[in-house]
Amino acid sequence: MNNEIRIINGIVFDPTNNVDGKVCEICIKDGKIVDKVSSAAQTIDAKGMAVMPGGVDIHCHIAGPKVNLARKLMPEDHRLDPHFKTKHTSSGSGGIVPSTFATGYRYATLGYTTAMEAAVPPLMARHALEEMYDTPIIDNGFYVLLGNNLFLQSLIAEGRKEEFKEAVAWWLNASKAYTVKLVNPGGDEPWKGHKNLNVKDIDDTSKIVDLSPRKVIDAFIDAVHELGLPHPPHIHCNNLGHSGNFDTTIETMKTAGDRRLHIAHIQFNSYAGEMGKSPKSASKEITEYVNGHKNITCDVGQVMFGKATFMTADAPLTYLLRGYKPQKWVNADTECESGCGILPFDYQGMIYTHALQWAIGLEIFLLSEDPWRIVLSTDHPNGGSFMNYPLVIKLLMDYEFRKEAMKHVNQKAMNSTILGELKREYTLNEICIITRAGPAKCLGLKDKGHLGIGADADITIYDILDDKEEMFNAPRYVMKAGQLLISNHEFISDYTDKKVLRVAPEFDKSIEKVIKPFFDDFYSIAFSNYAIDDEYLHDNIIIEANVKNNIYEN
């Protein structure tokens, strides 16, 4: 079989290699980009089309136990959006939390070829890996929840730094994760132990382990740095969603010093005002700090109006929010590791808070000076489905459209923001950075997010249209690892040879003797059954460790 492809006449956007809208040829062989191919290669004429690397979603919730719980919680949502079988693709169900097959296909129809699941408790990592294997087309990896792990917290509290680092490495290996995720560090345990108790401040000491969130964050940043993971700790800050939480966010970023740190869905962490009252925008303060500190990367977590589902390991937050929409919610048990809360939700333009959240997200995009460190995300499905990405792109690229959209939402919220004054419009090159090149660089994925020689041949080709939503909604061609999947807007293949991205830091085997007694005492599962064997994995690739102090050194 001829596996060579040549793309000619396309307008190439490859920010990593400083190619901004230049017409050049791209050659693909054996799933990689090469400098030339034989004359027998299949030729794709991309005249007048934009050629970009495949999209990389740095933060979404698409696999694992809580995603599945959300699917089970909302059968009515699936019924309204069936995903039909075609000659080349399998059937599934859509809605705000699509089934595994539909997730893969729908990401592909937006031109995305990599997506990282953002929160999996290690206890359920097997489930996440199984679902990832079942999600076609896109490469996956997941971040493992360790921020509320009781055992690790006790190691930090006792100052056993070396053992803590080894234990983190053991947990990453045991769960086959990509990096560490901290969700409301130090907040879940007190909530589980005492009725609705949460940490209110980063220097607060919880009642269960005498430890402040700052100490937890600091210890994890240190450990991840020393282990040299490709991506720094991925943090969902304390006080997320509360008015006046921007202080906590800035303090969290300060904790990192000049070490790298990724703030997840930063929009939810950028509220001014008093706790318990209506929020105000603090996008200026937040973007000012992010702009000035090259070690910080973040994804936005843009809120889009319409259906959404809160799906988070921040159980105290879901417990609080369940009061706003008294229908159904789930709080699942994750033993000594983390929390879990799920709540179906609707964002409505006429509601002050929702409109403000929408505006704050856009402000953060428009105020940030360095697109490499700000990543497009809706924190799918927390801020809205990933199917909203084309609309977000249009809002960023079209000032007039944004102004028109602002007229149809809560005016009190709009008047309290500076969104109307921001006339910046993203260019195609900048969009390419925030959806592809940037996240790949933040994740330390050297073979993704660019079109240089040796990169993975994950390529998307869009027709260049005036309506950017339309343009990004339907790529004409999508390629994954050199295989043409979508041709002329139609699936022509259901390519499932995909990989799980993971890390495998080295650790001292003797740490298992330290961890095991805790399992014997507190876990429902035997220590020997907990860690996932390498044999259990399907296709996977270990990303080499290379953490630096900022993404530019990679």
Partner 1 sequence: MKLKLHTQPEVPLEAESITPDVLNKLKPKEVEKVKLFHGNREVNLGDFFNVSKSKLDLLEVEGDMFKIKYIGANMSSGEILINGNIGPHLGSAMTGGFIKVNGDAGDWIAPEMSGGRIHITGNGGHCIASAYRGASTGVSGGEIIIEGNVKNELGHGMSNATIIVGGMCGDFTGVNLNSGTILTFGEMGIRTGAGMKRGTIICMDNLEILPTFSYDCLYSPIYLKLFFRYIRDKTKIKFDEKFIDGKFHRWSGDAIEMNRGELLVFSA
Q: Which residues bind partner 1 (CB under 8 A)?
A: 73-77, 79, 327
Query: Which residue is associated with the tokens 């799920």?
Result: 342
The HSE-up count of residue 443 (CA atoms within 13 Å, CB side) is 35
CB of 76 to partner 1, least distance (A): 4
- Pick the closer one to partner 1 by CB: 77 or 189: 77
To partner 1, the closest distance from the beta carbon of 348 in angstroms equals 16
Which residues have C-beta within 8 Å of that of residue 326, sequence separation ≥ 6?
none
Which amino acid, one-letter code, is at 525? I
Beta strands in 126-229 (DSSP E): 139-145, 179-183
Give CA torsion, residues 381, 384, 385, 391, to 10 deg: -150
User: Smallest gap, in angstroms, from Cβ of residue 328 to partner 1?
Assistant: 8
Compare residues 39 and 327 and give the one whose CB is closer to partner 1.
Answer: 327
Which residue, 79 or 408, is less far from partner 1 as judged by CB?
Answer: 79
**Between 91 and 411, whose beta carbon lies closer to partner 1?**
91
Task: Output the smallest distance, CB 308 to partner 1, in A.
Answer: 16
Nearest one of 230, 265, 235 to 253, comparing CA atoms: 235
Q: Cβ of residue 81: shortest distance to partner 1, in angstroms?
A: 13
Q: Closer CB to partner 1, residue 342 or residue 461?
A: 342
Q: How far is the CB of 71 from partner 1 (least distance, A)?
A: 11
Q: Which is nearer to partner 1, 75 or 193 (CB)?
A: 75
Cα–Cα distance for residue pair 64/131, rounded to 1 Å: 7
Nearer to partner 1, 71 or 265 (CB): 71
Nearest of 437, 309, 416, 313 to residue 358 by alpha carbon:
416
Rounded least distance, CB 131 to partner 1, Å: 21
Cβ of residue 70: shortest distance to partner 1, in angstroms?
A: 11
Distance between CA atoms of 33 and 37, rounded to whole angstroms? 10
Distance in angstroms (rounded) separating the CA atoms of residues 198 and 480: 44
The phi, psi pair for 292, rounded to 5°, reads -85, -5
Q: Residue 77: which H helix or E strand, with range?
A: helix 75-79
State which residue, 18 or 327, has the beta carbon closest to partner 1. 327
Residue 441, C-beta contacts closer than 8 angstroms, at least 6 positions apart? 16, 372, 449, 551, 554
